[in-house]
Amino acid sequence: MSIKSYINQDSAKFRSKTIREVQDCIDASGVEPLVDWINKTCGLQVYNTVLKGGGVVDMAYGDGLHVCSVYTSNNTNGDTTYCYESKYNAKQKASRGVSIYVRGSVKLTSLKRAIKSVIPSLDSVNSKVCHGFFELPMVITNTVKVNGYKSKYELDENLIHGLLQHALGDSTSPIQHVLDRTALTNILRRWDQHDIAEAEKKQKIIGMLDTPLYALGISKETNNSTGVIDYFLGIIKNSEAVSGRFDVVSSFTRVADISECPPTLQAMITMYKSRHEHLEKSVDFIAKSDVYDDDLLVISMPAPSIYYNECELRGGLAWFLTPVN
């Protein structure tokens, strides 16, 4: 049989299925015309099919991050409703008992018209996923310990007064304050050490983040597939246009398991697992709290809280990041 363009035959989800089985599921779902239209209009492809109810068809750009699910359901009148479900561009309002993430209509043309402007582009998907990576510098600075701090309370009023007199060379003040040079020298050394440590901190951020990074996203649950760990691998780098923002160099693509990652990345994952096996886990081997490993040059970030909109914060995934080279 000829393979329809809307089927991503290279999807990791289809390795145990034949194209005939995939096509039969799409046909049985009743949304084949909608799937075909979404593919031709926006370029999304079917990467997964789920035998649930009448059948659910999952679509993405290539075999990348999940974008939407399409399926049919029956309304209270028994009419068939075509449904489009996506966490991107949720409705502002919805009737009670209806998800803000689902758009539906008994008329296929009406649904097409409703979703044409809300189906996200690949750039939009990548941008929303990268939005949460602005936290990466903070993960490093919060992890790297700096001994001591500059405390203004180490300087009393008389000491500050004497410093002002000394700095300005003012010998006309009615009261001359004698400077305790030993005390000042000790304070100066502590403050200098703090500045040196802070400078090293900033250098660590520059060294870690001013290079392309492998970004391995990990999800325990993707849409309708529960209990299955999904992996998405991409490459990101600091944006040259917008400070604090990351751009996608290589789009996120689903990998079946860690063994399909580049050898250098596999090695880093193995060492990370060994060094941080004692930590409570968020998903798979990722710790439940942010981790910056200075020796490995690795950052891990847990899956966001369920109270966040998962599309707004790192795509709802836990992440493992390390320099490409």
Domain that holds residue 309: 124-143+209-323
Question: What was the pLDDT predicted at 309?
Answer: 54
The first and second tokens of residue 276, run together, are: 């941080």
pLDDT at position 52: 72
Using the predicted structure, report yes or no on whether residue 302 has a pLDDT greater than 80. yes
pLDDT digits (tens, 9 = 90+) for 258-272: 999 999 999 999 999
| Residue 6 located in a structural domain | no
Tell me what pLDDT residue 226 has: 45
pLDDT tens-digit series, residues 174-230: 888 888 888 888 888 888 888 887 788 777 777 788 899 999 999 875 444 445 688
Residue 171 has pLDDT above 60, yes or no: yes
253 within a domain of the structure (yes/no): yes
Residue 3: inside a domain, yes or no? no
- The token pair at 240 is 């040259």
The conformational region for residue 89 under phi > 0 = left, psi -120 to 50 = alpha, else beta, is left
58 within domain boundaries: yes
- Is the Cβ–Cβ distance between 100 and 49 less than 8 Å? no
Task: With respect to residue 4, please indicate whether it lies within any of the assigned structural domains.
Answer: no
Mean pLDDT of 137-147: 78
Determine the average pLDDT of the residues in 235-256: 88
Residue 166 is predicted with a pLDDT of 83
Domain identity same for 22 and 113: yes
Dist. CA 257–CA 260, nearest whole Å: 6
**Shared-domain flag, residues 200 and 295:** no
- The answer to whether residues 316 and 258 belong to one domain is yes
Q: Do 261 and 309 share a domain, yes or no?
A: yes
Q: Give domain status of residue 1, yes or no.
A: no
229 and 276 in a common domain: yes
107 and 139 share one domain: no
What number of helices (H) and strands (E) belong to the chain? 8, 13
Whether the CB-CB separation of 148 and 208 falls below 8 Å is answered with no
Residue 287 has a CB neighbour count (10 Å cut-off) of 19
Is the Cβ–Cβ distance between 307 and 313 less than 8 Å?
A: no
Across 69-93, average pLDDT: 85
Q: Are residues 240 and 139 in the same domain?
A: yes
In a domain, 2, yes or no: no
How long a stretch of residues is the chain? 325
In-domain check, residue 7: no
Q: Are both 86 and 97 inside the same structural domain?
A: yes
Residue 131 and residue 277 in one domain: yes
Instruction: Give me the mean pLDDT over the 139-146 stretch.
Output: 78
Condensed to tens digits (0 to 9), the pLDDT of residues 106-119 reads 999 999 999 999 99
Q: Is the pLDDT of residue 307 over 50?
A: yes
- CA torsion, ordered 317, 247, 119, 305, to nearest 10 deg: 20
Q: What is the number of structural domains in the chain?
A: 3
10-55: pLDDT as tens digits: 999 998 889 999 999 999 999 999 999 999 999 999 999 987 767 8
Question: Taking the model in full, what pTM does it have?
Answer: 0.80
Confidence at residue 223, expressed as pLDDT on a 0 to 100 scale: 45
